[in-house]
Amino acid sequence: MLATYALANLADAPAANPNDARAQDLYDFKTNIVNFAGASGTGSIVVNTAPIVTITIGWSDTRAAGASNQATGSTTVSPTTQSFTLTSRIGVNP
């Protein structure tokens, strides 16, 4: 069952379906990322060797970089793409 949670990108997330836990979970994953990161947010779920799961989310930090540059008087353009990756063991080895 865990392997079915793999998601290459947010565009592959299914529509909401409260009668299907997996579909609803993946829809919620996508919705939460878009709500915090906007339309340019990215996300993926990789299940390489169950029960090891890697979740990656990405977002543009342009607004924060601009505020930092304004506060420091810097004109240097800093990279604004940020990401967070979590690798965890979900459950136990089959």
Q: Is the pTM of this model over 0.75?
A: yes
Instruction: Check: CB of residue 84 under 8 Å from CB of residue 61.
Output: no
Domain ranges, ordered by start, for the chain: 2-89
The tally of CA atoms less than 13 A away on the side-chain side of residue 33 is 24
| Predicted confidence pLDDT, tens digits, the chain (94 residues) | 777 899 999 999 999 999 999 999 999 999 999 999 998 899 999 998 878 999 999 998 876 655 555 556 666 666 678 999 999 998 766 5
- Which pLDDT belongs to residue 78? 62
